[in-house]
Chains A and B, each alone.
Chain A
Amino acid sequence: MAAPALLTVKPRARRRLKPSLVAGLVIIGAFVLMALFPQVIAPYSPTAFDYQAVLQGPTAKHLFGTDNFGRDVFSRVVWGAQLDMQIALFTTLFPFLFGTLIGALTGYYGRWADAIFGRVVDIVVTFPFLVLVIAIVAVLGPGLKNMYIAVSAVGWITYGRLIRAEIRGQKRAEYALAGQVMGYTPARIIFRHLLPNAITPAIVYWMTDMALGILLGSSLGYLGLGAQPPTAEWGVLIADGKNFLATAWWISTFPGLAITLAGVGFSLLGDGLADLLRPRG
């Protein structure tokens, strides 16, 4: 018997890029460029004192003005981008990877693995995140490395919960059952079939989390528990300017704006990615 005629396939639908994705890419792209090539973009050294030009307001020469040591605020914000982008990545990369792994395994196997994970989650969520991180940093001592350790120790929980919930939903879908009947190993079913269909919320959250990571890094920098002066880090920059808020607003304001803009950029990126990664159908 011949195959029935007219077995045509639906035409492919074109998908347009969402404006939020484009805007997010532009903003974060700009910060990444600053982070990669600060020496090209920044007109001055971030640490060079210039006592001839102390506490100057924004001018053509010093776009964001200068601080009390005559350092160029624009250059410090640009160099700060390098450190803050690094903070955004390093505070979230390990939690993302580890949380995804744990979430996938507990979500798929359930039972005792799930029960243990559930208790760990219960314990961690009873402490306020920031307090817990500060406590860990207080024990380990201030500095960027210890901050990464502290944030990673706590941050993976959120990814774990997100992925676990998604996997629990996906594993009941018939394609997952089909994988079992096809004689695939659990590892193949989890990582090749379930995870690509479950990871979108975690990726979207990751973007938001990078914004939170910058905020956290800046907060700890401001409190003196993260990056140490004179390193150019946005939180440290804000702290530098806090005594001059009334007389030289620009010292704190521009790094503050940079933090805000980075936060908005990551949020837009997350929003746009959510749309892009949604399976079509």
Chain B
Amino acid sequence: MSEPILKLNNLCTVFHTARGRFTAVDGVNLELFPGEVLGLVGESGSGKSVTLRSILRLVRPPGRVSGEVRWRGRNLLSLSEPQMRQVRGGEISMIFQEPMTALNPVLPVGEQIAETLREHTELSGNALRQRAIELLELVGIPSPKERLRDYPHQFSGGMRQRVMIAIALASNPKLLLADEPTTALDVTIQDQILKLLLRLKDTLGMSVILVTHDLGVVAQTCERVAVMYAGRIVEVAPAAELFAQPRHAYTLGLLNSVPGAGSTRRPLIPIPGAPPDLTALPPGCSFAPRCAFATDECTAQRPPLMDISGPESPAVRLTACIHHDALSAAGEVTR
């Protein structure tokens, strides 16, 4: 495999609040390769969205980001704010779950695309307008020329998400960060948007980090997956291998708790309890209190992310589960 274009080294995001100090992102190490779609999955509070925001330094006080974000030879965390603005919405773009709050409600969408084009390209006048129409066409908005003058509220939820993607693509980014881009959408529209993202990724040669809680979305869109739990990455694997044979007890539990075809009205296998409070994490492996495989070793100290790639597998597999061998023996995915 080629060199990674993005590398997160010991990324930490800590919030100091009245309720106490909590670590939303806790020592995340992650690599992203050119042209790949990496899924970042986890449940609420797992730190997946904060990780994404931390890459672009979009975390507001009382949050503080530390560690290293290596992007094309530079550490984004040590850039000045003007330099960072060139990266943000330039080389790296981001799309959000709720386009209605990310778009300016009182500006026509054509104007919002033009704004980004002026900021990040040399285009002006008619060429700029032409490019805006092209972008709307690219994301599949019918009669783009007429729709330039429309305001965000005149678009449906799916079309709004397309507009936001068009704005994100205006600067020809090399990396697209997508934060739950289809969570607010209906399933047939979600399907359209995901397929659109994959098509655009191929034609424009971007890499994508897709944050989602939906395992189905991951299975259908991502080549590689990183699973997060309580602010830490617990497993990294190619999507096919992760779904076939999870090597972390949490991933296994997650897959088992989703109903599969043909098991109608049989009890599911839930993960007991609820995700931990980030201000009071259990010692050692954060998942240990809910884990059927947990032993004293798990609570003694925090297990590191270990490389368990076998000789037969060319792709890197990482897990932070001490009992990853026991998993493959005891707990096949019950689908």
Contact surface of A with B, Cβ cutoff 8 Å: 1, 4-8, 10, 13
* Cβ contacts B19-55/A at 8 Å (1 or 0 each): 1000000000000000000000000000000000000
Pick the contact of B289: A1, A4, A6, A7 (CB < 8 A).
Answer: A6
Tell me whether A1 and B273 are in contact (CB under 8 A): no
Q: Is B290 an interface residue (CB 8 A)?
A: yes
* Cβ contacts B246-268/A at 8 Å (1 or 0 each): 00000000000000000000010
Return 15 A-B CB contacts under 8 Å, by A number.
Answer: A1-B267, A4-B270, A4-B272, A4-B273, A5-B272, A5-B273, A6-B272, A6-B273, A6-B274, A6-B289, A6-B290, A7-B273, A8-B273, A10-B277, A13-B19
In the A-B complex, the 8 residue pairs with the closest CB atoms:
A6-B273, A4-B272, A5-B272, A6-B272, A6-B290, A4-B270, A6-B289, A1-B267
Q: Please measure, in the bound complex, the distance between the C-alpha atom of A249 and the C-alpha atom of B310, giving whole angstroms.
A: 94
Q: Which residues from chain B contact A13 at a C-beta distance below 8 Å?
A: 19
Q: Report the nearest B residue to A6, measured CB to CB.
A: B273
Q: Which residues from chain B contact A4 at a C-beta distance below 8 Å?
A: 270, 272-273
Q: Please measure, in the bound complex, the distance between the C-alpha atom of A13 and the C-alpha atom of B20, giving whole angstroms.
A: 12
Q: Please measure, in the bound complex, the distance between the C-alpha atom of A1 and the C-alpha atom of B270, giving whole angstroms.
A: 13
Chain A nearest CB, measured from B292 CB (Å): 10
Q: Report the nearest A residue to B277, measured CB to CB.
A: A10
Q: Which residues from chain B contact A1 at a C-beta distance below 8 Å?
A: 267
Within 8 A of A (CB), among B258-313: 267, 270, 272-274, 277, 289-290
Q: Which residues from chain A contact B270 at a C-beta distance below 8 Å?
A: 4
Q: Report the nearest A residue to B271, measured CB to CB.
A: A4
Q: Which residues from chain A contact B290 at a C-beta distance below 8 Å?
A: 6
Chain B nearest CB, measured from A3 CB (Å): 9
Q: Please measure, in the bound complex, the distance between the C-alpha atom of A1 and the C-alpha atom of B267, giving whole angstroms.
A: 10
Q: Please measure, in the bound complex, the distance between the C-alpha atom of A8 and the C-alpha atom of B290, giving whole angstroms.
A: 12
Q: Report the nearest B residue to A1, measured CB to CB.
A: B267
Q: Please measure, in the bound complex, the distance between the C-alpha atom of A13 and the C-alpha atom of B267, giving whole angstroms.
A: 35
Q: Please measure, in the bound complex, the distance between the C-alpha atom of A6 and the C-alpha atom of B277, giving whole angstroms.
A: 13
Q: Please measure, in the bound complex, the distance between the C-alpha atom of A5 and the C-alpha atom of B270, giving whole angstroms.
A: 11
Q: Please measure, in the bound complex, the distance between the C-alpha atom of A141 and the C-alpha atom of B274, giving whole angstroms.
A: 68
Chain A nearest CB, measured from B230 CB (Å): 15
Q: Please measure, in the bound complex, the distance between the C-alpha atom of A10 and the C-alpha atom of B272, giving whole angstroms.
A: 15
Q: With contacts A5-B272, A5-B273, A6-B289 known, what are 12 further pairs, Cβ within 8 A?
A: A1-B267, A4-B270, A4-B272, A4-B273, A6-B272, A6-B273, A6-B274, A6-B290, A7-B273, A8-B273, A10-B277, A13-B19
Q: Please measure, in the bound complex, the distance between the C-alpha atom of A5 and the C-alpha atom of B294, giving whole angstroms.
A: 14
Q: Report the nearest B residue to A13, measured CB to CB.
A: B19
Q: Please measure, in the bound complex, the distance between the C-alpha atom of A4 and the C-alpha atom of B257, giving whole angstroms.
A: 14
Q: Please measure, in the bound complex, the distance between the C-alpha atom of A8 and the C-alpha atom of B274, giving whole angstroms.
A: 9
Chain A nearest CB, measured from B62 CB (Å): 18
Chain B nearest CB, measured from A19 CB (Å): 15
Q: Please measure, in the bound complex, the distance between the C-alpha atom of A138 and the C-alpha atom of B197, giving whole angstroms.
A: 75
Q: Which residues from chain B contact A5 at a C-beta distance below 8 Å?
A: 272-273
Q: Please measure, in the bound complex, the distance between the C-alpha atom of A5 and the C-alpha atom of B267, giving whole angstroms.
A: 16
Q: Please measure, in the bound complex, the distance between the C-alpha atom of A7 and the C-alpha atom of B274, giving whole angstroms.
A: 8
Q: Which residues from chain B contact A7 at a C-beta distance below 8 Å?
A: 273
Q: Which residues from chain A contact B277 at a C-beta distance below 8 Å?
A: 10
Q: Which residues from chain A contact B19 at a C-beta distance below 8 Å?
A: 13
Q: Please measure, in the bound complex, the distance between the C-alpha atom of A5 and the C-alpha atom of B273, giving whole angstroms.
A: 7
Q: Please measure, in the bound complex, the distance between the C-alpha atom of A6 and the C-alpha atom of B289, giving whole angstroms.
A: 8
Q: Report the nearest A residue to B267, measured CB to CB.
A: A1
Chain B nearest CB, measured from A224 CB (Å): 52
Q: Which residues from chain A contact B267 at a C-beta distance below 8 Å?
A: 1
Q: Report the nearest B residue to A8, measured CB to CB.
A: B273
Q: Please measure, in the bound complex, the distance between the C-alpha atom of A8 and the C-alpha atom of B276, giving whole angstroms.
A: 11
Q: Please measure, in the bound complex, the distance between the C-alpha atom of A1 and the C-alpha atom of B289, giving whole angstroms.
A: 20
Q: Report the nearest B residue to A10, measured CB to CB.
A: B277
Q: Please measure, in the bound complex, the distance between the C-alpha atom of A13 and the C-alpha atom of B19, giving whole angstroms.
A: 9
Within 8 A of A (CB), among B139-164: none
Chain B nearest CB, measured from A8 CB (Å): 8
* Cβ contacts B202-222/A at 8 Å (1 or 0 each): 000000000000000000000
Q: Please measure, in the bound complex, the distance between the C-alpha atom of A3 and the C-alpha atom of B247, giving whole angstroms.
A: 27
Q: Report the nearest A residue to B289, measured CB to CB.
A: A6
Chain B nearest CB, measured from A5 CB (Å): 5
Q: Report the nearest A residue to B270, measured CB to CB.
A: A4
Q: Please measure, in the bound complex, the distance between the C-alpha atom of A10 and the C-alpha atom of B276, giving whole angstroms.
A: 10
Q: Please measure, in the bound complex, the distance between the C-alpha atom of A5 and the C-alpha atom of B289, giving whole angstroms.
A: 10
Q: Please measure, in the bound complex, the distance between the C-alpha atom of A4 and the C-alpha atom of B274, giving whole angstroms.
A: 11
Q: Which residues from chain A contact B274 at a C-beta distance below 8 Å?
A: 6
Q: Please measure, in the bound complex, the distance between the C-alpha atom of A13 and the C-alpha atom of B272, giving whole angstroms.
A: 24
Chain B nearest CB, measured from A244 CB (Å): 52
Q: Which residues from chain B contact A6 at a C-beta distance below 8 Å?
A: 272-274, 289-290
Q: Please measure, in the bound complex, the distance between the C-alpha atom of A10 and the C-alpha atom of B280, giving whole angstroms.
A: 11
Q: Please measure, in the bound complex, the distance between the C-alpha atom of A5 and the C-alpha atom of B277, giving whole angstroms.
A: 17
Q: Please measure, in the bound complex, the distance between the C-alpha atom of A125 and the C-alpha atom of B318, giving whole angstroms.
A: 69
Q: Please measure, in the bound complex, the distance between the C-alpha atom of A7 and the C-alpha atom of B290, giving whole angstroms.
A: 11
Q: Please measure, in the bound complex, the distance between the C-alpha atom of A98 and the C-alpha atom of B273, giving whole angstroms.
A: 48
Chain B nearest CB, measured from A51 CB (Å): 62
Chain B nearest CB, measured from A52 CB (Å): 60
Q: Which residues from chain B contact A8 at a C-beta distance below 8 Å?
A: 273
Q: Please measure, in the bound complex, the distance between the C-alpha atom of A163 and the C-alpha atom of B289, giving whole angstroms.
A: 46
Chain A nearest CB, measured from B282 CB (Å): 11
